Amino acid sequence: MPYPYITKADLENRVSPIVVKRVLGLNPGAIEMVLADASSIVAGYLRTMYSLDALAANTPQEVKRLALDAAHYYLVQRFPELHPGHNPVSMLKNLRMELMDLRDRRTSLDTDGSPEPAAQTDGEVYEGGMVVSDAPDCINNWSNDLSKFY
């Protein structure tokens, strides 16, 4: 698992050691797969904004929480009999919304230091979100004057 943001102990603290033990009884390799899948979905959303190596080396609590939310979702999805009353569709929708908010900088990690967001390399971002690059003016100003393209 390249970016292990959470451990079996973290998962036991979230869903209970009894649930983890029951899952292991049903499928001995399931917990490792759930941990890998949970870390993978989080890494997939954050890789454009953060150094994944820095996140793994110094995992912020928000990343752990999101990975645990993902792991809980995968447990509910794969072992619904152990989680009566949980709605996996709703859980996934909420998880994706939170990951997109973090990726799109509507929220942030709970850290002032590393890991810092990845550097923007293709332009400068000014207030209001306008990106200015070295591209020709007709591309930079496409939203202002679409008549050039018709």
The tokens for 110 are 């709970």
pLDDT tens for 93-121 read: 999 999 999 888 888 887 766 665 654 44
Instruction: Measure the CA–CA gap between 31 and 92, rounded to whole angstroms.
Output: 18
What are the boundaries of each domain within the chain? 8-103, 120-150
Residue count of the chain, please give it.
150
pLDDT tier at 2, thresholds 50, 70, 90: low
pLDDT tens for 32-89 read: 999 999 999 999 999 988 888 888 888 999 999 999 999 999 999 999 998 889 999 9
Characterize 74-109 residue by residue with b for buried, 16 or more Cβ atoms within 10 angstroms of its Cβ, and e for exposed.
bbbbbbeebbeeeebeebbeebeebbeebbeeeeeb
Which residues, in sequence order, are bridge partners of residue 83?
none
DSSP result, 88-135? HHHHHHHHHHHHHHHHTTSS--S-SSSSPBPPP-S-EE-TTS-EE-SS
Q: Are 55 and 3 in contact (CB under 8 A)?
A: yes
pTM of the predicted model as reported, rounded to 2 decimal places: 0.73
